[in-house]
Amino acid sequence: MLNLSKMKSIGADLSRRRDLNINELIIRTLLSFESRAEEKGLGVEIQLPEQHMTVVADPDAITQVLYNLLDNSVKFATPGSCLCISLCKEGGKAYVSIKNTGDTISEEDLPLIFDRFHKSDRSRSLDREGVGLGLYLVKTILDAHNEDISVTSRDGVTDFVFSLTLAK
């Protein structure tokens, strides 16, 4: 709980924001999941533009966002499937997509997954250690950055997409 309060305040602290190479941050965070992905036999597909994108954000807070989304993606991916991480630019925003193949999140659960302490029946059976704060923290950090996150889950493919403001 202390970490949650700390991350909420850090995400809102404008003085912590700086120009940040989001390509590099994605790769560094993804590397921390290398052994877990290998243990599950997961393939990893990374689609990053050749030219690095610079966003304005708190590096620690956005690392936490990436970590939480990748953690869930690895945890709930079907063994032997593929994780897909992509980055694109549209207008003045960078969009990060983290996609996995596994159980589809029910339509009833989709609007609730960013709620504090929410755990769907699927996650209770697969993740007995989590308390349902990871996605709440992701949403809180992105809200503090005035950014958006969305999720779709169809036919076993779940895709989280969040935005970050490009540096000028």
**Got the DSSP string for 66-99?**
HHHHHHHHHHHBPTT-EEEEEEEEETTEEEEEEE
User: What is the C-alpha separation between 13 and 64, in angstroms, rounded?
Assistant: 15
Rounded to 10 deg, the angle between the 134-144 and 59-76 helix axes is 150
Say which CATH topology domain 17-165 has.
Answer: Heat Shock Protein 90 (3.30.565)
Residues in the chain predicted with pLDDT less than 70, given as ranges, are 1-14, 117-132
The β-bridge partners of 20 are 55
How high is the pLDDT of residue 123? 45
DSSP string over 127-144: -SS--S-HHHHHHHHHHH
- What are the residues whose beta carbons fall under 8 Å from the beta carbon of 101, sequence distance 6 or more? 77, 78, 81, 82, 156, 157, 158
Closest-CA residue to 17 (of 61, 66, 58): 58
| SS3 category, 61 | helix
Q: Where are the domains of the chain?
A: 17-165
What is the C-alpha separation between 32 and 36, in angstroms, rounded?
9
86 bridge partner residues: 47, 97
